[in-house]
């Protein structure tokens, strides 16, 4: 067994101390932490949601994180984007986040893509994910505030069988759900809930938002991602080292709404739209379909 393989199949003393509170949970344990170390999370959007979810995931022991955003830090970001400060203003969020996450979680392998999400850039991103995914279980986090970008991310995840956790927050209204066509195809996709011709939702740039509301949604997004990763099948993890966590399929195919005024959560069961042009069964055989356009928009 190579040194790399040995390192990935056991925890050292520092790991046991650093992650002891997670390891105490029977749903995680030593096996669960080993599993998280074999996972790769791609975070699209490094603003309010993305930078906080990235901190939780990196510090939870996720092995690799890729950060995607072409936006720069602005003064108006600071009340809710706590990874940044005034010295970071004008710098690219993805690069700043990578540098600061490396300090918070030195064992996490970090990548940064400073680019707008378009069809062309998505292909290069997927090539990057595919390379990492040969040895790791991959998952995407949609932390954007742009409807066109969300539809693009959703379609890419459906086409390439990648699990997706999507969250958003504007004013006092938060939304959260996960898509995984491999594990729960009956749950549909983002397009089933919000067709492409849906009126573009408001975002925090024009509706406003309170920082703690963003924190709630980012925390829930990271928590949902961790639970899905703990129960995923990791290519190079021996069956005997699987964590004890029960399947997370009950978390798939559900749509959560958070009312930050009343502090109430509401959830609904989702089902696939049989006419959905993205995830309906006929999609896999429709080789002529292409995404017509992806409008440029600011990532959160």
Are 243 and 267 a contacting pair, CB within 8 Å?
Answer: no
Residue 203 has pLDDT above 90, yes or no: no
Active-site hit among 46, 157, 189, 204:
204
Beta-carbon neighbour count of residue 89 at 10 Å?
15
The yes-or-no verdict on residue 285 having pLDDT over 80 is no
Q: What are phi and psi of 173, to 5 degrees?
A: -115, 115
Structure tokens at 259: 């009312």
pLDDT band at residue 246 using 50, 70 and 90 as cut-offs:
low
- Domains, the chain: 17-194+207-232+249-282 (3.40.50.720)
Least confident of 6-20, 45-59, 207-221: 6-20
Q: Which among 297, 90, 136 has a CA at the least distance from the CA of 206?
A: 297
Query: What CA–CA distance (Å, rounded) separates 166 from 103?
Result: 26
pLDDT score, position 245: 53
Q: What pLDDT, in 10s, does the model give residues 154-171? A: 888 888 888 999 999 999
Would you say how long the chain is, in residues? 300
Whether 204 is a known active-site residue: answer yes
- Give the model's confidence band at 281: pLDDT under 50 very low, under 70 low, under 90 confident, else very high: low
| Tens digit of each residue's pLDDT (9 = 90 or more) over 16-35 | 999 999 999 999 999 999 99
How many other β-carbons are positioned within 10 Å of the β-carbon of residue 249? 13
Residue 124 pLDDT: 76
The pLDDT mean for the chain works out to: 83
> Which carries the bigger pLDDT value, residue 246 or residue 113?
113
- What per-residue confidence (pLDDT) applies to 239? 44
Instruction: Assess contact for 105 and 59: CB atoms under 8 A.
Output: yes
Of 119-123, 150-154, 235-239, 281-285, the least confident: 281-285
Rounded CA separation 213/75 (Å)? 19
With 50 as the cut, is the pLDDT of residue 300 above it? no
Does 205 have pLDDT greater than 90? no
- What pLDDT shows up at residue 148? 83
> Average pLDDT, stretch 89-100?
98
For residue 9, give every residue at least 6 positions away whose Cβ sits within 8 Å of its Cβ, in sequence order, or none.
1, 34, 238, 241
Decide which of 201 and 44 is more confident.
44
Residues 113-170 have pLDDT tens digits of: 998 877 677 777 777 776 665 556 889 999 998 888 888 888 888 888 889 999 999 9
Nearest to 183 by CA among 111, 263, 247: 247
């Amino acid at each position: 067994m190579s040194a790399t393989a040995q390192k990935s199949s056991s925890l050292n003393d520092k790991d046991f101390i650093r992650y002891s509170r997670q390891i105490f949970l029977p749903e995680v344990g030593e096996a669960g932490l080993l599993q998280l170390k074999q996972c790769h999370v791609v975070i699209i959007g490094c603003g309010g949601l993305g930078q906080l979810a990235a901190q939780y995931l990196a510090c939870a022991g996720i092995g690799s994180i890729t950060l995607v955003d072409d936006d720069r830090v602005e003064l108006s970001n600071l009340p809710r984007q706590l990874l940044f400060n005034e010295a970071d203003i004008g710098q690219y969020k993805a690069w700043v986040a990578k540098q600061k996450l490396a300090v918070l979680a030195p064992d996490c392998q970090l990548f940064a893509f400073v680019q707008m999400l378009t069809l062309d850039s998505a292909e290069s991103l997927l090539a990057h994910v595919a390379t990492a995914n040969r040895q790791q279980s991959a998952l995407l986090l949609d932390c954007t505030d742009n409807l066109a970008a969300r539809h693009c991310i959703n379609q890419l995840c459906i086409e390439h069988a990648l699990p997706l956790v999507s969250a958003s927050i504007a004013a006092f209204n938060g939304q959260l759900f996960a898509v995984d066509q491999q594990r729960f195809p009956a749950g549909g996709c983002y397009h089933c809930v919000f067709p492409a011709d849906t009126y573009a939702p408001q975002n925090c740039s024009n509706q406003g938002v309170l920082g703690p509301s963003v924190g709630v949604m980012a925390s829930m997004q990271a928590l949902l991602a961790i639970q899905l990763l703990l129960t995923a099948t990791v290519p190079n993890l021996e069956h005997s080292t699987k964590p004890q966590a029960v399947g997370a399929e009950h978390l798939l195919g559900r749509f959560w709404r958070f009312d930050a005024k009343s502090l109430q959560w509401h959830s609904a069961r989702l089902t696939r739209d049989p006419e959905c042009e993205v995830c309906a069964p006929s999609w896999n055989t429709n080789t002529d379909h292409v995404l017509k356009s992806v409008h440029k928009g600011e990532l959160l």
